Amino acid sequence: MVFPRLIALDMDGTLLDGESKIPESFWPVLKRAEELGVTIAPASGRQLATLQHQFGPELSFIAENGTAIAHKGEIIHVSVLPDDAVLRILDALQAVTVDHDVVLCTPTVGYVSEDANPDTFVQLEKYYYSRETVKDLRAMVKDSDIIKVAIYCSAGSEEHIAPVVFKAVPDHNVAVSGKEWLDVMPAGANKGAALHYMADTLGIDIAETAAFGDYLNDYELLQEAGTAVAMDNAHPQLKDVADVIAPSNLDHGVITVLNEWFNKMESTQRVHANQREF
């Protein structure tokens, strides 16, 4: 394989452990990447502010399923949903009878109704570090750059939410991003497109990229990457397009594979250094 210079890491079900935490053994791996000149970019459906809170602001980030891209503390690209698409989603969801809540995501804050289910607020603490409650979500549409609409449904997003939303906005990117979450992004916006944008910005050939993922919102990411890595716990469709199957997130598969790659990179560098001496 081509050694990657840019590596995108999904979070939930991929890098994070069973308690949704970053394993402590990841930080030495991140340091090794920096020493080798490899850029690590968390690539998540999570909010940019959340990722920056978890990792610090200086990394590169693909946030909100690719609709917000940041590099060294600066937002370098966003993709915005048209107002009419957001309103179509809100209109269509009125017909859904099972409990669900909506988050309107901007590059810097997530808006949620003050009447949202208490269980939803528990979930939001994990995914939306920067959030505001509002009386009327519709009132936020006109004056905000909505880059993603996220819908939380504890009864199951794929069964109860996806059919309605797919029908409402067939012209945009609808992704089942977890058992309880469904995300809507602008047409053409996804983690894979964001990886390509970041690679171009950093002057890295797409063949020199790699990506790790586990769920359907990682599909385009793995398709686009030079080396596609699906976790052992990944959705079957991701395994079908993967070049490598890593151990599960519970077994810290990302860290295992990265250490293997970095060992080979360091070994290759030593060989080249010895050859130059002669």
For residue 34, pLDDT beyond 70: yes
CA dihedral (155, 158, 163, 165) in degrees, to 10, reads 90
For residue 74, pLDDT beyond 60: yes
For residue 2, pLDDT beyond 70: yes
pLDDT score at 275:
62
For residue 278, pLDDT beyond 60: no
Backbone angles phi, psi at 160, to 5 degrees: -100, -30
| CA distances, 6 to each of 115, 212, 221, 231, 273 (Å) | 41, 12, 13, 18, 23
Tokens of 73: 């503390």
pLDDT score at 126:
86
Residues sharing a CB contact under 8 Å with residue 264, sequence separation 6 or more, in sequence order: 3
Sketch out the chain's domains with CATH numbers: 6-78+189-277 (3.40.50.1000), 83-185 (3.30.1240.10)
pLDDT in tens, 156-201: 999 999 999 999 999 999 988 888 999 999 999 999 999 999 999 9
Closest CA to 56 of 78, 68, 40, 35: 40
pTM above 0.85, yes or no: yes
Instruction: Find where tokens 């570090």 sit.
Output: 129
For residue 10, pLDDT beyond 90: yes
pLDDT in tens, 216-275: 889 999 999 999 999 999 999 999 999 999 999 999 999 999 999 999 999 987 776 666
pLDDT in tens, 88-144: 999 999 999 999 999 999 999 999 999 999 989 998 988 999 999 999 999 999 989
